[in-house]
Structure formats: C-alpha cells, structure tokens
Amino acid sequence: MKKLLSVAVMCLCSFVLCAQKDVTTFLGIPVDGTKSEMIEKLKSKGFVSSSHDRDILEGEFNGEKVQISVVTNNDKVYRIAVFDENMRDETQIKIRFNTLCRQFQDNKKYTSTSNDDQTISEDEKIGFAMLLNNKQYEAVYYQLPVISKMDTAALVKDLGSMSKKYEEKYTEDSLANMTEEQRENVQKEMVNDFVKSKWVQSWVEACTKKCVWFKINKSYGKYYIMMFYDNEYNRANGEDL
C-alpha cells in the first residue's frame, strides 16, 4: 500500500492550492494598481513613452522591440498588452510564434490547461486560413500560483487524510492479490478523487486568474505578435451594467 500511495502522491503533488489571491506579473511587476502607477513602474524597467502617445511605452522585451499599452477597468489595471514593433512574413511569424510556445512550455513558472501542442505546423498556410476562414492563431498559458508554507502544510494534511482513507479501503493482502491493471485502476481512483476536491478546484481557479496569452495579428500583408498579461481579478464582469 505504501508503494502505491507514494506513486499516487507523486501525481497529486503536481496539484497545489493557493489560498492567497496573488495576481499576474509582468517583469516582476504585479498587473494591478492604477494606470499611472503601472506606467511609472514600467519606466523604471527601462521603457520610455512613445513620441506619438505618452501612454504607449517602447522598449525591449524578451529580445524583441515592443510597444506596451496598459489597459484598465475602473482605473484598475487588468491587462498589459505587448506588441511587436517588427513585422514579419508568414514563415518568420510561424517561427516567432513557435519559439514563444516552446519558451513558455520550458518555463517552470507557467502551466497550460491544454495537453495539445500549441505550436503551428510547418505546412500550415496561416495567411490563407486567416483570410478565408477567419482562423485565429493563439496560445494560452497560466502563471503558477504562489504557494505559502500554510498552503503546503494544509495540502500535506489533506493528502495524509486521503492516504488513511485508502489504506483502510485496500489492505496489503488485497493489493498483493491484484493484477497490474487493478492496481493501476486504484491509482486512477485516488487521483480522480483528489482532482474533484476543493484543493484542485482552488488551484485551477487561481491559475485561470493569471492568464498570459499571445496571438498572431496581420496588418498590410505582414504579421506580428500581440501578447497579453491579464489579471482576471480586475476584469469587468458586468458590474457596471
């Protein structure tokens, strides 16, 4: 039973609870507060106001020249929008898009709710698909919640209670007489039990509030990336209707 539990716990520990409502960050800056405050913080990172619009900032981000716009709801920042300055052709934009996907996939600060590969295949005709089928090319990732010591302790306690439950349900003798398939079914039962718990639901909720996504946009026959760092806690939810 202990071996079986240890395998299941390894699976379950990929799910964590974040009790505090931490928010999306951009370059370490919380996407929150007022627009003027955010602009000043971004300027401290080296960005400068555009000569055409003081609310648009220019600078370098992730090795790319970009423009940044701060988007608010009731003067609370809910989005940092980042736009590539350099335009690309169809082949180059696919490389740019796929490189970003791999960077997010390899970054341990992020996760994705999709098991699908979000990259674009080499033979995809994106210009044709966007023009005739209005297809959108976008990829979505989520910043992982911040985990406190209290959260970790509570999670371990909950896992302990769950372990006790299954130790009582399945004895060492019953496990010894199980087939490999039956043991795998027990592991799946344990994981499914935990996935449905409030712990995982809270973790998923915390992740979805820290969304970072990007898409391909087209202008005058050229393409560029639009990237968004969203704080969903500050997004409008119809409260002004």
The residue to which tokens 């996504």 are assigned:
213
Report the SS3 class of residue 168: helix
* 95 domain residue, yes or no: yes
- 90 with 41, same domain: the answer is yes
- 160 with 228, same domain: the answer is no
* 179 domain residue, yes or no: yes
**The pLDDT value given to residue 209:** 92
Expressed in percent and rounded to 5, the helix, strand and coil fractions of the chain are 40, 25, 35
* Host domain of residue 71: 25-145+209-234
* 134 domain residue, yes or no: yes
Q: Which of 217, 233, 213, 236 is nearest to 225 (CA)?
A: 217
| Residue 211 dihedral angles phi and psi, to the nearest 5° | -85, 135
- 128 with 75, same domain: the answer is yes
**The pLDDT value given to residue 16:** 43
Tell me the pairing of strands 64-73 and 56-61.
antiparallel
| Residue 240 dihedral angles phi and psi, to the nearest 5° | -90, -5
* 9 domain residue, yes or no: no
* 36 domain residue, yes or no: yes
- 116 with 179, same domain: the answer is no
Q: What's the rounded Cα separation, in Å, for the pair 81 and 217?
A: 13
- 229 with 185, same domain: the answer is no
How many domains does the structure of the chain reveal? 2
DSSP 116: S
Spans of the chain below 50 pLDDT:
1-20, 150
**The pLDDT value given to residue 67:** 97
**The pLDDT value given to residue 176:** 77
**The pLDDT value given to residue 89:** 96
Tell me the whole-structure pTM to 2 decimals: 0.77
* 4 domain residue, yes or no: no
- 132 with 162, same domain: the answer is no
* 114 domain residue, yes or no: yes
- 110 with 34, same domain: the answer is yes
Report the SS3 class of residue 233: helix
* 130 domain residue, yes or no: yes
- 185 with 97, same domain: the answer is no
- 76 with 167, same domain: the answer is no
- 196 with 213, same domain: the answer is no
